[in-house]
Structures are given as C-alpha cells and as structure tokens.
C-alpha cells in the first residue's frame, strides 16, 4: 500500500518483464537466455518541476517516493494544475495474453522451434554466414497514481528473425526475413516463406543492376509506406516538439492541408501487434487518432503535459521504452489508410519508375530518406529487373502532396527486432502499416 | 572450470529541457553483476540487476553450461590494472543552477533558436576479475549536453543539434563555438554541384560499412575487405582505432567485455597508415576463424560476449580545420538516413551543411546529397583528420565527395 502525500501529483509504474533470446550463428548455438526483470519508475510533480526515480528494488517504493517528495515543495493548488487536471483516472484489469503467455513455454520448446528452421539456411550454397534468432517478451504492467488510477495490463511479442550474407563471385548481399507476432504459435510454419525470401534475395544479388540516379515515380510497399508514414510524418505529430517554439502552433494549425487529398494517416494503440498499447505510461486509455485525414492535418500525439500546454485532448501516446525512463510522446501503431486500387492498377500508368519492396531503414526530418534493401524497376506498367538503390529522398511535404495512388489492401506489420528511437530512448516497439503507395516523383540515388 | 566476474555500476542525473527551461530531474542508479564460467569448450552465463551475489551467480552460470553453448576457454592471463577518472565534474546540487545559467546565456546569444532535450551527468565503474588472476577496474564520468535546436518558425522537429560530452564543462567555449554556427545558419549560400571536400564525423560514413570489418563476414568472404587483412588498401593518411582511452573518450573503459587490454594506448588498431590491421571480433569468432582478436568485445550483463565497437579514434593529420581543408569545403553537421549498396557505393542527404572557407563557416547550404565509393573514400579521396576542432574532444575527417543538390 503506497501513501501518496497531499500537495503533489505522483504516479508509479511497475513492469514485470520476462524476455527470451535464443540465437544461432552459422548453425551453432550462440546465446540462449531468459531474463526476468522487475523495475519501477516513480514520478512526483509539484507544479514546477518533475522529480523522477528509476529503481530495481520494488519492495521499498515508499522510501523512494518519500525521497522524491522531499526534493519538491508541496503545492496546495496542485489539483488545479492544468497538467494534473488532464490525467485520466482509469481503474482496469486488461490481461490479453494470460492464455498464451510465452512464460509458459519452456526454453527447450523455443529452442526446438528455432532449430527447426536452421536447415533452410544451408539450402542455398551462396549463404556464407547466417544468423537465426528467436525473441519473445511478456510484460505485466501496474500503474497507480495519487489521483486514484489503478491499472493492470499485459503486453506480449514473440517472433523470429533470420539474416544471411550471400556471395557469388564478386557479388555480395545481406538478406533478412522476420516475423513478428504476439503468440508462440504464430512463429510456427514459416518454412515456405523463408525459402521464398532466400530465393528472391539470391536472385536480387545475382541480377540487380545499379540504378541511374534521378527523379522517378516510386511505388512503396506496405513496409516502406509504413516506415515512411512513421518517419516522415509520425515524428512531426509528436506534440513535444511544439513546446519550445511559440510559432509552432500557428505553423501546425489543425485543418491545414499537408498532403494529397487521398492521404489519411492514423496512430492507434489498439492495433494488435508490437504497437499495442492499451494504456500508455501515464494511464491514458488507447484510442484511434487521425494525424492526417483526407490530406488535412487532423491531430497530434500527446502526453498530459503537451496536451495541457497546447490545450488539446489526450491521445494515449506517453510511452517509455522501460522503467529506466520517463514517458515522452511516442507513436504506437502508425499506418496509412487504404485507397481504391489493386496493385496492378497502381503500377499500370508508370512508364519508368521503381518499386521499393523491402527496406533497411528510414529517417525523416524536413527531408526524409529510405534506404531500400530490395527494389525493382517498373517499366511500362510492369515490374522489371531488380535494381540497386542506395537511398531515396525527398522533401516530406512535397512527397506527401505527390501521393497519387493507394491500394485497397492494407497490411499491419510488427517487427520483432529493433524499434523506434527518439533521443535516449531506443528501441520502443511500434507497429507500421499501410497500403501500396504510389508517389509521382521521388529522388532516387 | 574457468570463471569471470564482472560488476558494473552506472549513476546518472538527467535534466530535461523544454523551451530553454529545465523542467525535470531524473536520478538513476543501476548495478549489474555477471558470472561467466567455461568448461569443456562451453560457456555458461548468469547475470543480475542489483548488488551481485557471486556465489549464487556462479551456481546459475554453472547450471547454464547445460545449454552447451560453444565458447573457447581462452581467458586473459594475470594482470592488475586500475584507472580512476571519476572526479566530481559538477556537484549534484549545483547542476540545475549551472545548467540553467548556461541555457539562459545560450538563449540570449541565439535568440532565434529554441533549445530542448537533455543534459546529463554520468558516472560509471566496471570491475573485471577472472580465475587466471586478471583484476581490472575502471571508473569514469562525463557531462553530456544533448540539445535539440529549433529555428523558431521553421516548423521542423529540430533544425540543428548542440551535442557535446567531456569530463569537464566549459560553458564559455560551448557558447562561443555555437554562436559561430548560429551566425552562419542565417546566411544562406549556394554551391554548384560537383566534387568538394566534405568535413564530417567519420562515424557517419564508416558505420555504414561497419559490417565489412566484422571478423565472421570477413572469414566467410562476404565482406568487401575479405582477404585483405595486412594489406594496404586505404590512404597512407588513414589510421583508425577503437578508442578505449578515457583521455580522448571521456567515460571510456580501457578493457573490453572479456578483459582484453590494448596497452599502452588503449586503442585497438583497425587501420594503420592505410593497412588493414584488425577486424572486429570476440574471442569466439577470433578462435573460430583464426583471426587475431583486437579486444573490442561487448556483452549484455547476462549474455554471451559478441563483436562490438566503442568510439573511434582517427589519427589527426592536421592541427586545425584551416590546415585540413584550405579554400572551399562543406561541413556536414547532420546527415541521417544514408546507406551503401552491397558493392560499396555510399550516398546520403545532408539535413544541415555549411559552406566553409579556409576552415571558417561562411553560411548554410540548402539540401544537398553527397557520396562516393568505399575504397575511394578511404583511399584516394581521403583528405585527413583533425582533433579538438571545433571544440575540445571533437574529431572530424575530410573526404572528397560527389555533391548534388537535393
């Protein structure tokens, strides 16, 4: 039982995390561990300054909390503070993974699953080095606050990652495949998919030709489109970047046209997968938030502090990568909504352009970048030869305005490795998604 | 049975800055413990968060031997060495007033910029002991300013960055240098596409090729460098080391995760005068592929050691930026999102670049793209490196590159 003091706002977030890593390199076991961690993050606010502590000793939280109280100054008007008034006071128990917890699967079972895939990495003699990894995480969160919030919920991810380095003569290629899900059974039965990926990436290494740099129409796969949405616009929707510059609110006025009229971008913690966030780390319930709707700026992502300072509503986006850090404004699952076309209809009008199928990474400021991994040329409305592209770039807003086609089909993707980075906090699991997206012009190098 | 025991402690104070004002104070302290045991060609690992109980960890590590994870029993021999660099940099109770005064001055000097993000004070200590008689201890501290800078009215998440870390805090030097960038930021200049000296932090370029330096890929023939160990493949002027020397990388630990020490300079060599001298390995990959281990392994507190790389040290070839690049050059401050094709062609956009003339900032360039080929960039197109410019602790390199407009 925690005793909260009057004159302050305070909350405590506790995470009980189990995570497993099993890794093989070149068919040899390299790592196998199950890590159990329990940690807490405490926050106290006196209306002027926030005081934070991260502790692994969760048995003595009252002492830590009292230490934070001692650093602050009691404020009789704390409940009138605009940030404190924003906080939701939810009481809920939402356990989604109790019936399929990865904690109930033995290390031996997890190892056997991964071992079953290893022979696939020896089938192509061009593979000179390979790595196969099984990863899972089950977290049980508890959140309580001085306002009376009391929430318990869980989060789970489970998946496989395979990477391989191929050579043939002078040609080299680093290929990869991964599957991210939420339950152990979803990691079974991917043999055909892995085999097809290796075959495609082998052909890419063997046959790809250098691109002729220039400006071309580009079609992005759901993977590339999802990363583009996240990097190019999702980060700009994080409201904390608006706090330092008083001109930003006018610059980013809701309703302003920021993209093509067919473009809508959503962020939602309700989407199953790696971005699933039923409650954020301030106890705010998830909801569907439009960032862009029909080309117009429709909303932004908030913590209680940014919502109070910009006088807008909460969105459920105050997140921390772990109990080492305070929650800051982050995305959950960010995706572009679908359109009206089939894939063939999407590429049909393109005389000369490129299809970005898989990517290595992306980034987005005023200029965004996508570093493709596997891409193809589009010639006279048909997919053609594989091509080598270092990077595609463009102005974010010009590119958002040049989106002129979307498929009906939308894919939601979960990556089991990596995650989103924002300054000191990396990697945060997030979801990506979208349809196939056609952009009338991008800078291809 | 051979054994290693490692204890690591980190103490951090982190201030959050919003609109030039400090609005939070975070204190964290984390201790981890590790025991690794070796028997019959296998490794067993156990780790904990919190004060380690060596006996209990040893028991768990011994049980983990049943996983049969192959690892060579090649512990480093007897050596006792200790380095303490943990003098107090700023008293904790003075941190907020010191940094708020710094931010206030910065705001006055650069009124069109808005500053946010973190300022931190970090102290770490690492103890390594093994059953062969090796006993090492290293402690260090650093102050770290990591400020995002918005040009008011730009609408951007951030426009530039004020990042610096060191074992002392010199507000005057930081503000004076940043003011030069501020003045240049508002002078728009242009260049014609062509070939220019690009001045940049070497990690922006080299890390895009880091996998080619990994021992396993090298041995598998999957690296652009395969078969070239010991050969001169780059410019005479290029010498690159992993920097584990606290004098040049404050906070660096002088030994790696397996207790390897690159005495006397604590900088394991990767390239020396253009000759490929070392690859990134751990004891296992070095043993498996019969490659010399240079001693840069890293490991999670509960994980098996693997290949790692800390900071880079590039041997300086010039005493000043002016001496490094005379005439026109481009100083790239931010270049996110670049990459290289499998055959070694590197390309990147520059989110922020300045035109320099004889080492002095002239003005800000519009969007540009730059790039080149791996062997040429570090070969005939490598111009050289300078240290402690523009600030103490900085390290910049210069390459001739193709530049186009974005």
Residue of A nearest to B66 (CA): A32
Same domain, A50 and A179: yes
Q: Kindly state whether residues A156 and A254 are assigned to the same domain.
A: no
Q: Are residues A198 and A290 in the same domain?
A: no
Q: How far is CA A154 from CA A108, A130, A182, A277, A340, in A?
A: 24, 33, 11, 9, 36
Contact A51 B25 (CB under 8 A): yes
Percentage of the residues of chain A whose pLDDT score is greater than 70: 100
The verdict on residue A84 lying in a domain is yes
Position B405 scores a pLDDT of: 85
One domain, residues A201 and A344:
no
State the total domains in chain A. 2
Picking from B27, B92, B115 by the largest number of A CB atoms within 10 A of its own CB, the best residue to mutate is B27
Query: Residues A150, A264: one domain?
Result: no
Full DSSP string of B50-93: SS--HHHHHHHHHHGGGG-EE--------EEEEEEE---SS-HH
Let me know whether A251 and A108 are in one domain.
no
Structural domain harbouring A22: 9-206
| A244 contacts B115 by C-beta, under 8 angstroms | yes
Tokens of B373: 């080929």
Spatial separation of the C-alpha atoms in residues A24 and B205, rounded to whole Å: 30
Name chain A contacts of B14, Cβ cutoff 8 Å: 424
pLDDT for A229: 94
Residue with tokens 């005389």: A351
Residue B2's region, left for phi above 0, alpha for psi from -120 to 50, else beta, is: beta
Work out the minimum CA distance from B125 to partner chain A, whole angstroms: 18
pLDDT of residue B86: 81
- Whether A410 and A222 have beta carbons less than 8 Å apart is answered as yes
Which pLDDT band holds residue A286 (cuts at 50, 70, 90)? very high
Same structural domain for residues A201 and A340? Answer: no
The pLDDT score that the predictor gives to residue B342 is 80
Tens digit of pLDDT for each residue in A44-99?
999 999 999 999 989 999 999 999 999 999 999 999 999 999 999 999 999 999 99
Contact status of A166 with chain B (Cβ, < 8 Å): yes
Least confident piece of the model among A210-224, A241-255, A342-356, B36-50: A241-255
Examine the pLDDT at A366 and tell me if it is beyond 80: no
Q: Do B70 and A243 touch (CB under 8 A)?
A: no
Q: Does A171 touch chain B (CB under 8 A)?
A: yes
Q: A303 in a domain, yes or no? A: yes
| Interface touch A245/B152, C-beta < 8 Å | yes
Dist CA A21 CA B285 (whole Å): 20
Position A363 scores a pLDDT of: 82
Contact list, A374 vs chain B (CB under 8 Å) = none
On whether residue A379 sits in a domain, the answer given is yes
pLDDT tens for residues A102-148? 999 999 999 999 999 999 999 999 999 999 999 999 999 999 999 99
Per-residue pLDDT tens digits for A164-210? 999 999 898 999 999 999 999 999 999 999 999 999 999 999 999 99
Question: What is the distance of C-alpha B237 from the center of its chain?
Answer: 21
Count each helix (H run) and each strand (E run) in chain A, helices first.
9, 25
Instruction: Answer whether residue A257 is part of any domain.
Output: yes
Query: Contact A428/A419 with Cβ under 8 angstroms?
Result: yes
Residue A296 pLDDT: 98
pLDDT in tens, chain B (406 residues): 999 999 999 999 999 999 999 999 999 999 999 999 999 999 999 999 999 999 999 999 999 999 999 999 999 999 999 999 988 999 999 999 999 999 999 999 999 999 999 999 999 999 999 999 999 999 999 999 999 999 998 888 899 999 999 999 999 999 999 999 999 999 999 999 999 999 999 888 988 899 899 999 999 888 999 999 999 999 999 999 999 999 999 999 999 999 999 989 999 999 999 999 999 999 999 999 999 999 999 999 999 999 998 889 999 999 999 999 999 999 999 998 788 888 889 988 898 999 999 999 999 999 899 999 999 999 999 999 999 888 888 899 999 999 998 7
Domains along chain B?
2-184 (3.30.2290.10), 187-205+316-405 (no CATH)
Identify whether residues A260 and A384 lie together within a single domain.
yes
Q: Are residues A329 and A259 in the same domain?
A: yes
- Is A194 a domain residue? yes
Does some domain include residue A1? no
* Residue B318 C-alpha, separation from nearest chain A C-alpha, in angstroms: 32
Q: Which residues of B touch A365 (CB under 8 A)?
A: 156-158, 334, 336, 351
Chain B partners within 8 Å of A445 (Cβ)? 347, 369, 371
Please report the ipTM that was assigned to this predicted complex.
0.90
Tell me the DSSP string of A365-403: SSEEEEEEEEEEEEETTEEEEEEE-S-EEEEHHHHHHTE
Residue A98's CATH number: 3.30.2290.10
- Final residue in a domain of this structure, among A206, A225, A257: A206
Domain boundary among A144, A175, A206: A206
Same domain, A164 and A278: no
Domain boundary among A168, A188, A206: A206
Q: Do A90 and A123 fall into the same domain?
A: yes
Is residue A4 a part of any domain in this protein?
no
Confidence (pLDDT) at B269: 97
Nearest chain B residue (CA) to A171: B343
The verdict on A242 and A385 lying in the same domain is yes
Residue of B nearest to A29 (CA): B69
Residue A3 lies in a domain: no
- A30 and B345 within 8 Å at the Cβ level: the answer is no
pLDDT per residue over A294-318, tens digit each?
999 999 999 999 999 999 999 999 9
Q: Which segments of A79-149 are extended strands (E)?
A: 91-94, 127-145
Q: Please determine, for residue A364, whether its predicted confidence score (pLDDT) is greater than 80.
A: no
Nearest CA to B380 out of B227, B188, B238, B194 is that of: B238
């Amino acid at each position: 039982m925690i005793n909260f003091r009057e004159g302050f706002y305070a909350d405590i977030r506790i995470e009980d995390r189990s995570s497993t890593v099993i890794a093989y390199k070149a068919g040899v076991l390299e790592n196998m561990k199950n890590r159990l961690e329990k940690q807490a993050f405490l926050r106290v606010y006196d209306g002027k300054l926030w005081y934070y502590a991260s502790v692994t000793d969760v048995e003595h939280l009252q002492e830590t909390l009292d230490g934070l109280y001692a650093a602050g100054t009691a404020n009789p008007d704390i409940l009138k503070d605009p940030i404190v008034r924003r906080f939701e006071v939810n009481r809920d128990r939402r356990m989604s993974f109790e019936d399929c917890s990865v904690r109930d699967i033995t290390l031996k079972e997890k190892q056997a699953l991964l071992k079953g895939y290893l022979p696939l990495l020896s089938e192509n003699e061009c593979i000179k080095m390979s790595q196969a990894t099984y990863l899972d995480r089950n977290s049980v969160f508890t959140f309580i606050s001085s306002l009376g919030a009391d929430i318990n919920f869980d989060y789970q991810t489970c998946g496989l990652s395979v990477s391989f380095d191929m050579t043939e003569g002078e040609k080299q290629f680093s290929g990869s495949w991964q599957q991210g899900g939420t339950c152990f059974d979803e990691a079974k039965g991917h043999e055909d998919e892995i085999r097809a990926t290796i075959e495609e990436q082998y052909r890419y290494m063997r046959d790809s030709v250098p691109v002729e740099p220039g400006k071309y129409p580009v079609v992005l796969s759901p993977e590339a489109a999802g990363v583009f949405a996240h990097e190019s616009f999702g980060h700009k929707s994080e409201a904390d970047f608006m706090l330092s510059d008083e001109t930003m609110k006018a610059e980013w006025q809701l309703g302003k046209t920021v993209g093509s009229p067919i473009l809508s971008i959503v962020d939602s913690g309700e989407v199953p997968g790696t971005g699933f966030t039923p409650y954020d780390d301030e106890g705010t319930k998830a909801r569907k938030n439009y960032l862009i709707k029909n080309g117009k700026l429709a909303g932004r992502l908030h913590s209680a502090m940014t919502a109070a300072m910009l006088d807008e509503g909460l969105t459920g986006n105050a997140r921390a990568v772990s109990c080492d850090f305070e929650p800051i404004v982050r995305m959950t699952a960010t995706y572009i909504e679908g359109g009206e076309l089939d894939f063939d209809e999407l590429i049909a009008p393109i005389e000369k352009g490129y299809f970005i199928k898989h990517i290595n990474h992306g980034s987005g400021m005023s200029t965004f970048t996508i570093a493709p991994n596997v891409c193809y040329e589009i010639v006279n409305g048909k997919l053609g030869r594989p091509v080598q592209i270092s990077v595609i770039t463009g102005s974010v807003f010009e590119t958002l305005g040049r989106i002129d086609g979307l498929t009906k089909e939308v894919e939601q993707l979960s990556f089991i490795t990596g995650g989103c980075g924002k300054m000191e906090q990396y990697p945060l699991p997030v979801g990506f998604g979208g349809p196939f997206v056609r952009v009338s012009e991008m800078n291809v190098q | 049975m051979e054994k290693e025991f490692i204890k690591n402690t980190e103490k951090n104070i982190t201030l959050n800055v919003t609109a030039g004002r400090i609005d939070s104070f975070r204190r964290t302290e984390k201790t981890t413990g590790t025991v690794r045991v070796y028997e019959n060609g296998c490794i067993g690992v156990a780790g904990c968060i919190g004060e380690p109980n060596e006996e209990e960890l040893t028991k768990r590590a011994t049980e983990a031997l049943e996983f049969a994870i192959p690892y060579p029993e090649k512990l480093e021999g007897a050596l006792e060495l200790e380095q303490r660099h943990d003098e107090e940099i700023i008293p904790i109770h003075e941190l907020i007033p010191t940094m708020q005064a710094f931010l206030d001055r910065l705001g006055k000097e650069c009124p069109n910029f808005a500053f946010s993000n973190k300022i931190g004070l970090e102290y770490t200590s690492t103890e390594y002991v093994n059953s062969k008689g090796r006993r090492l201890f290293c402690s260090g501290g650093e102050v770290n300013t990591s400020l995002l800078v918005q040009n008011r009215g730009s609408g951007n998440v951030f426009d530039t960055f004020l990042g610096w870390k060191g074992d002392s805090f010199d507000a005057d030097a930081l503000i004076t240098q940043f003011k030069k960038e501020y003045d240049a930021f508002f002078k728009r200049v242009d260049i014609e596409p062509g070939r220019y000296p690009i001045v940049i932090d070497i990690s922006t370029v080299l890390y895009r090729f880091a996998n080619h330096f990994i021992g396993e890929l090298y041995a598998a023939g999957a690296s652009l460098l395969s078969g070239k160990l010991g050969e001169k493949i780059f410019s005479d002027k290029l010498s690159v080391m992993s920097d584990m020397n606290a004098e040049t990388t404050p906070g660096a630990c002088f030994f790696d995760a397996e207790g390897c020490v690159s005495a006397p300079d604590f900088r394991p060599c990767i390239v020396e005068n253009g000759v490929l001298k070392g690859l990134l390995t751990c004891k296992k990959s070095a043993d498996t592929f019969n490659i010399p281990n240079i001693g840069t392994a890293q490991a999670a507190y509960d994980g098996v050691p693997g290949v790692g790389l800390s900071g880079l040290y590039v041997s300086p070839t010039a005493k000043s930026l002016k001496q490094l690049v005379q005439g026109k050059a481009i100083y790239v401050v931010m270049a996110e999102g670049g990459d290289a094709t499998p055959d070694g062609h590197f390309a990147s956009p520059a989110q922020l670049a300045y035109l320099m003339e004889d080492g002095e900032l002239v003005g800000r360039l519009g969007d540009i793209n730059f790039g080149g080929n791996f062997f040429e960039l570090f070969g005939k197109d490598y111009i050289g490196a300078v240290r402690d410019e523009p600030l103490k602790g900085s390290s910049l390199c210069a390459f001739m590159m193709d530049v186009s407009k974005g």
